[in-house]
Structure formats: C-alpha cells, structure tokens
Structure 1
C-alpha cells in the first residue's frame, strides 16, 4: 500500500501578508466581519473547484483552491492556489 505524500500546509500569517500586498479587503462583503477560517481543516490544502466542458461533463480533479469562510455569516470566498502562491504561503513547519 502506497502512502500519500503529505499535503502542504498554508501559513495564515504569510497568506495575510500576501493578501495585504495586493490590497485585498479583510471585511466580509456580506456582514463586514473581519475573521475568516479555512474550510480545509488544520490549514491543509486540498479543496478543488470542479469544472466541466460546458456540455455536462465534470472533471473532478478540478482547479486547486483555498476556501475561506466568514466566522460570522459563513459567507465563502475562494482563492486560487497557483504554484506561485503556494510557494509564497507554504508553512515552514515540518510535517
């Protein structure tokens, strides 16, 4: 049985610095709250946004995303996890 490679972890501080450097708004667009949590649990990367061919065929490997939700109203926002972003915000903690 093969063991899955460890999933990368996101450093929330590094992600905050990256978002700040791009002028991203902290406030939830629905309720104005400023606290967000990662949907992935324990900050492990692993969500995907499924996509299809426009004719009903879905590809479940999808597009990698980090899903965040507002701790107040549960509004969800997604951030695309490109290789460049992941390289900048990856946690330095050992697995």
Structure 2
C-alpha cells in the first residue's frame, strides 16, 4: 500500500527502504501484510491521518513476490505484517488496485 502518486516510480524502480511521513520513527524498511485483505485497516488509518493533516490522496495496492534473498522480520507493532530492509525489484511487483 503506497500513495498513488508514487505508482509510476514504484513500477519503474521497484521498492527500496526510505523514511518519510511515518506514524512512528524507526530504521528504513518496507512493510508487507501476510493477507492482502488486511490492507483495509492500514488504509483507514492512513486516510484518517491524511484528513487530520489536510491531505487528500489516494493509495495503490501492490502484490510483491519475495525471493529467498529477501530477509523478512516480524513486526512487533502489527501482528498481521512483516518487513524487510531489502530492495524489491520492479519485476517482482504487481499493481493490484489503484486509487483507493
């Protein structure tokens, strides 16, 4: 799940850990859900946060194929997700839904 205005950059360059506009401070990482349907909880939270900050933007949902080279870590703050510090190739990213 990422802001739609980042869609073309993600599909062209892939995903790479970067810090910006997060709810908590921590090292750069890329977050994932175990179940695609769990994105709705995060989307609701992001939209609420955007509204509080007078931002009105849409989000895009991606499916990512992880490889054996990707090291994943459990997220202690979100039991339905995990994260990696590794880059994700654009060849391993599929746009699932747009303008959420």
Do both proteins adopt the same fold according to a TM-score greater than 0.5, normalized to the shorter chain? no
Q: What TM-score results when the alignment is normalised by the length of structure 1? A: 0.25
Which one has a larger percent strand, Structure 1 or Structure 2? 1
Which one has a larger percent helix, Structure 1 or Structure 2? 2
- Select the structure of larger CA radius of gyration: 1
